Amino acid sequence: MAAKRKRGALAAGKAKRARSAPSAGEALPEGGPPQEHGVPPQEYSIPPPVSQGKWKNKERVLIFSSRGINFRTRHLMQDLRTLMPHSKADTKMDRKDQLFVINEVCEMKNCNKCIFFEAKKKQDLYMWLSNTPQGPSAKFLVQNVHTLAELKMTGNCLRGSRPLLSFDPMFDREPHYALLKELFIQIFSTPQYHPKSQPFVDHVFTFTITDERIWFRNYQIIEEDASLVEIGPRFVLNLIKIFQGSFGGPTLYENPHYQSPNMHRRLIRLSVAAKFREKQQVKEVQKIKKKGTKVLVEEDPTEVVFETPAEEKPVEIQLVKPESKPIVKDKKKLRKIQRKKQKKLFRTEG
């Protein structure tokens, strides 16, 4: 049996092995701090971050959607979260919930801006941009969506880098566009010295107004020749209304050129039905023309000038039934029968 150890034996052994920590004047051996037990490791100072400034602009954007969105909208939402390091995500909202509930969700997530994608009829996509909880907010119809994953988007930028915002000159001429410009600046611009951002500027967000719509593009800035290469995503925003409050309230502006997707689909159906109806009417008119009475043309007396009457032949009536010809398939047998008949005729004549 193993011998029993005393209680103080282990503590005494540890005390013998322990060494005193080196004083401030003594130098540490090469290879770092000592690895013996009882000596605390040397503390190393972590270098400060690249940006020495203070994060003052505490803008946080909540990006989420309602239930019923398709795969393209889901990828677009994920691309915006990737490009905006100051964004936050949340679970999908139920369709039955009212939109003003989003203000409470933003308050719980500590966000003061919101991008909400609302899907209807599994084919129409609407985007809400809002300054919560005071407002204003704007509702858009999203069209022509293309995501980062498409092959034609060949550009690439540093993840978390801060973008430049480029606006069309039209944004400074109209008051409702000026309001949207300020809303875009506060939502899409990454705050300076944000913890998740990088202190580089290597891509541009462009907002262009064409055909009463806002066209969003994202380009990479190439350092060599300062040319632009598209990164994505890209989409078109068709403005519907601008509200004074967040997700509701009095209407500040309503787009007179906006046409709802339901009305657009209805006009397409009516145009197709009108073409079909026109074809049917053309067919009915042709049938009526064919059934109509023909106009009788008077006889021309000069038509008979060059006509020569045919010779009249006497009518012959055959009283005797013609002899039936034997049906013979073999030509040799037919010839033999003809020869026999000729021989009979010669005998009778002789």
**What are the structure tokens assigned to 195, written together?**
């913890």
The pLDDT assigned to 199 comes to: 86
The answer to whether 143 and 236 are in contact (CB under 8 A) is: yes
- Using pLDDT thresholds of 50, 70 and 90, give the confidence band for residue 40: low
Ordered alpha helix ranges (H), 7-70? 7-17
Helices (runs of H) and strands (runs of E) counted in the chain: 6, 11
Q: Within 13 Å, how many C-alpha atoms sit on residue 315's CB side?
A: 1
Confidence of residue 278 (pLDDT cuts 50, 70, 90): very high
Instruction: Report residue 99 CA to chain centroid gap.
Output: 25
The beta-carbon contacts of 101-108 under 8 Å, at least 24 apart in sequence, are 102/128, 102/130, 102/132, 102/246, 102/247, 103/132, 103/133, 103/246, 103/247, 105/62, 105/64, 106/62, 106/132, 106/133, 107/132, 107/133
- DSSP codes of every residue in 173-186: TSHHHHHHHHHHHH
CA dihedral 199, 202, 208, 213 (to 10 degrees): -80
Query: Side chain identity at 284, as an amino acid letter?
Result: E
Least confident of 94-98, 111-115, 177-181, 332-336: 332-336
**Count of other CB atoms within 10 angstroms of residue 259:** 11
Position 204 scores a pLDDT of 95
End-to-end Cα distance, the chain: 160
pLDDT of 228-264, one tens digit each?
999 989 999 999 999 999 999 999 999 999 999 999 9
- Give 103's pLDDT tier (boundaries 50, 70, 90): very high
Q: Which CATH class name applies to 61-263? A: alpha beta
User: How far apart are the C-alpha atoms of 181 and 187, rounded to whole Å?
Assistant: 10
For residue 250, give Cα distances in angstroms to 79, 267, 313.
32, 30, 106
**The token pair that represents 17 in the structure block:** 């092995």
Mean pLDDT, to the nearest integer, of 144-155?
Answer: 87
pTM, two decimals, is 0.66
- To which residue do tokens 């939502």 refer? 187
